[in-house]
Structure 1
Amino acid sequence: MKKRFIWSIILLFFFFQAKATHIVGGQLFITENKDSYYNYNIGLTMYFDALNGNPGAEDPAVVIYVFRKRDNAAVGWLEAPKIERKSVTYANPLCGISTLQTYQITYSSTLRLNPTDFNDPQGYYMVWDRCCRNGTITNIKNPGDAGSLFYLEFPPLFKNNANFKNSSPLFPTINGDYACVNSPFFFDFGGKDADGDSLVYSLITPMQGYSDKTNPSIPARGSSAYPRLDWIDGITVDNVIPGPDPLKVNRATGMLTVTPGSVGLYVFAVQVDEYRKGAKIGTVTRDFQLKVVDCPKMDPPKLLYKPKGKTTWYNENEIITVKKDDPNCFEVIVTDPTINQMIRVNGLVVNNSKNYFTILPAQFRTTVANDTLKFEVCLEDCFVTYDNRPIRIDLIAEDESCPFPLTDTLSIYIKRESAGNNAPKVTTSLAADYVHVTAGVPVTFTVFGKDPDKDKLALSGRGRDFNMTDLGMTFAATSGTENVQQNFTWTPPCQAKKGDTLTVDFKLEDMRCEGNPMPVSKPVFFIVDESPNNPPAVKTSLDIPEITYLIGGPEAILFDVIGTDPDTNRISLVAAGRGFDLSALGMIFEGKTGVKSVTSPYSWSPECTLLAGEAEQTFLVDFITQDKSCAAASDTTTVRIILKDNEEQPFPEFPNVITPNADSKNDCFVFQELPDDKCDDQFKDVTIYNRWGKQVFYSNIRPNDWCPTDISGGYYYYLIQYTKRSYKGGLTILK
Structure 2
Amino acid sequence: MMKNLRFRLFVFSLLIWFTPLTYANHIVGGELQMRPSGGAGRYEVTLIQFWDQNNLTIPRPNVSGNRDEFANLYIYQKSNKSYKATVTVDYLKTEQLTYQNRACASIRSLNTSIGYYRGSIYLDPAKFNHPDGYFIVWERCCRNDDINNIEDPGDSGMVFYLEFPPVTVANSSPVLVEPNGQYICSNRSFSMNMSATDADGDELRYSIATPMRGNTDPNKSIGDSLSKSSYPLVSWSRGVSITNAIPGPGPLRVDATGKVTVTAGALGLYVFTVQCEEFRNGRRIGVVRRDFQLLVIDCNDDQPEPPVIRQNGNAVAEVTFCPEMPVELSTDDAVDWSYQWQLNGLNISGATSATIMVKDSGSYSVVKSYTKKCSRDTASSVVRATFAEPVAAVISYGKSTICVEDSTVLLANDGLIGAEQTLVWYKNDVQLEVTDPMLTVHEPGLYVVAIDDEVPGCPGRDTVEIIRDDFAVALPDRKAIQEDGRDFITPVVTPEAASYSFAWSPGDGLLSAQDEKVALITPVREEELYHLTVTSAAGCTVEDSVLVYMMKRMYIPSSFTPNGDGRNDTFEIFNAREQIVLMRIYNRWGELIYKTEGYEHPWDGTYRNVPVPAGSYPYIISTEAQEIQGTVLLLK
Q: TM-score range by the shorter chain?
A: 0.3 to 0.5
The one of the two structures with greater contact order (alpha-carbon pairs below 8 A, sep at least 6) is 2
What is the TM-score normalised by the length of structure 1? 0.42
Q: Which has the larger radius of gyration?
A: 1
- TM-score, normalising length from structure 2? 0.48
